[in-house]
Amino acid sequence: MIHFECDYEEGCAPEILEALTQTNLEQTVGYGLDPYSQEAKQRIADLCGLTDRQAGETQREALWREKETAGAVHLLVGGTQTNTVVINYLLRPHQGVIAADTGHVNVHETGAIEHTGHKVLALPTADGKLTAGQVQDAILGHLYDPNIEHTIQPGMVYLSYPTETGLLYTKGELEGISAICRQYRVPLYVDGARIGYGLMSPQADLTLRDIAELTDLFYIGGTKQGALFGEALVICNPLYRKDFRYFIKQGGGMLAKGRLLGLQFLTLFKDDLYWQLARHAVTQALRIREALVAKGYPLYMDSYTNQQFTVLSNEQLERLQERFLLSVIERTDADHTAVRICTSWATKAENVSLLIEAL
């Protein structure tokens, strides 16, 4: 069987295993305070523009900035954990998180957000993307509620980039949401479990630095993009850095051998391995997209990222399932099923060819 049902079914970029093997018997301090983690965090902060020298900066200001960015990047083990820790950090007990109804935090984390005491304020979407208008309406709707204190206060906004449906926010769309969030002082957090597969899409008009500028926090996913595991959280807004490590520890996310995360992210980001791996997955996904279009399959979602969505007849589905694992989304009618076809950094071009032939 050839797997196309998700993007975390292989191990990791071989360079990572090499790095782990080479450093295996070195002794380092634990909990992410080792040199590899420090270097990886610094590298990511640099890439996000957090450490840019400001025009006209004095030496004293530069020192302050450097010290300040020390707490800007954290390396955590997994996505549910990262989302839970961040949301629990940002919200006060009477606040909830605005999210698309399809958002991962709303549907696929076994209520981890509610488990920390917070309501997910899920807004309906056709395609998994929130709009600035929706966010503003949710915030104002609360402010104008005559029973304001009887309802949950929107305390942050959660987006996924790309969305769980494979789609991308344009720069204009993200700017719009960001502006609303800043106007009402509601932090904006982006779940970047597949951020590389978004930024490397030919449709993306956003850069990593744009995201760092427009959001308060976001994470760069490792698990689905070439690491064994791990997510790099970037806290762009210095307001949200204080005491953050307590939350990682409390949330069970502080790896004793933190260097495992440091070494992985260092390997992915010291050159542009992360982006190469992402580009590969997108290229293979777009081959599948082209084949779907060419062969007249409907596009269930109009995605230019590593997740492709189509609708198959029962007969087509059964036939494909003999050789390929796909992810079933929903029955669209008695005879048809929407499916997701996923590529990853490790997808073999020849397997894509086999799938295309079989379509």
- Restricted to residues 210-249, the positions that interact with a copy of itself (CB under 8 A) are 223-224, 228-229, 243, 245-249
* Residue closer to a copy of itself, measured from CB, 47 or 91: 91
CB of 313 to a copy of itself, least distance (A): 20
CB of 328 to a copy of itself, least distance (A): 7
CB of 247 to a copy of itself, least distance (A): 6
CB of 124 to a copy of itself, least distance (A): 10
Which is nearest to 160 in space by CA: 98, 239, 251, 253? 98
CA–CA distances in Å: residue 250 to residues 66, 96, 245, 258, 311 = 27, 20, 9, 15, 43
Q: Hey, what amino acid is at 163?
A: T
Q: Among 251, 307, 311, 341, which residue sits at the site for a copy of itself (rule: CB under 8 A)? A: 251
The Cα 201–Cα 351 span in angstroms is 21
User: Do the beta carbons of residue 87 and residue 118 sit within 8 Å?
Assistant: yes
Please tell me whether residue 117 binds a copy of itself under the rule CB under 8 A.
yes
Please tell me whether residue 144 binds a copy of itself under the rule CB under 8 A.
no
Please tell me whether residue 14 binds a copy of itself under the rule CB under 8 A.
yes
Please tell me whether residue 8 binds a copy of itself under the rule CB under 8 A.
yes
User: Do the beta carbons of residue 128 and residue 102 sit within 8 Å?
Assistant: yes
The Cα 44–Cα 10 span in angstroms is 24
Q: Among 55, 56, 59, 256, which residue sits at the site for a copy of itself (rule: CB under 8 A)? A: 256
* Residue closer to a copy of itself, measured from CB, 53 or 249: 249
The Cα 169–Cα 214 span in angstroms is 12
* Residue closer to a copy of itself, measured from CB, 116 or 283: 116
Q: Among 38, 131, 136, 151, which residue sits at the site for a copy of itself (rule: CB under 8 A)? A: 151
Which residues 73-112 are close enough to bind a copy of itself by CB under 8 A?
A: 77-81, 84-85, 88-89, 92-94, 96, 107-112
* DSSP calls for 16-50: HHHHHHHTTT----STT-SHHHHHHHHHHHHHTTT
Q: And the tokens for 25? A: 């018997």
Which residues 262-301 are close enough to bind a copy of itself by CB under 8 A?
A: none
CB of 49 to a copy of itself, least distance (A): 27
Which residues 312-351 are close enough to bind a copy of itself by CB under 8 A?
A: 328, 346
Stretch that binds a copy of itself, among 116-124, 129-137, 232-240, 271-279 (CB under 8 A): 116-124
Q: Among 12, 99, 212, 291, which residue sits at the site for a copy of itself (rule: CB under 8 A)? A: 12
Please tell me whether residue 201 binds a copy of itself under the rule CB under 8 A.
no
Q: How many residues does the chain have?
A: 359
Count of residues of this chain found to bind a copy of itself when the rule CB under 8 A is applied = 76
CB of 132 to a copy of itself, least distance (A): 22
The Cα 274–Cα 292 span in angstroms is 27
* DSSP calls for 277-316: HHHHHHHHHHHHHHHHHHTT--EEE---SSEEEEEEEHHH
Stretch that binds a copy of itself, among 203-211, 252-260, 275-283, 304-312 (CB under 8 A): 252-260
CA–CA distances in Å: residue 64 to residues 45, 60, 217, 328 = 15, 6, 20, 51
